[in-house]
Amino acid sequence: YGGDHLVYCGDYVAPDHEYFQLSEDELAERFVKALPNFQPEFDRNWIRRRWVFRAPYAQPLPPPNHSQRIPDIRTPLDGLYWASMSQVYPWDRGTNYAIEIGRRAANIIREDIDA
């Protein structure tokens, strides 16, 4: 990055959170004001460019006791399998977990085909 550093400041909030009502500048300023807490020498002149991305449902939020209701990859319907973000719990979303679930599903399907 030519000696520059990328800094990701994220927060996962409910769709009715005030962040969704703030302008991009107002929202970015909330995070910029917090940066000296992590780097006391921080200088806002270091910021060359910034982006603000918002999505009301970017993060799955499992309900209480979700761990007791995680769906099985095998469904009650013969030949139908389910692999989704609901099975990532207790971890956060991520490509590595999607790959892991895909591999688990593939192994189960292979077992069923070979049975």
Residue with tokens 């990328």: 6
Q: Which residues of 101-113 are buried (b: 16+ CB within 10 A; e: fewer)?
A: beeebeeeeeeee
Does the global pTM surpass 0.85? no
Please, are residues 84 and 78 in contact by the beta-carbon 8 Å criterion? Answer: no
Q: Return per-residue pLDDT of the chain as tens, 115 residues.
A: 888 988 999 888 888 999 999 999 999 999 999 999 999 999 999 999 999 999 888 777 788 898 999 999 999 999 999 998 888 888 877 788 889 999 999 999 999 999 8
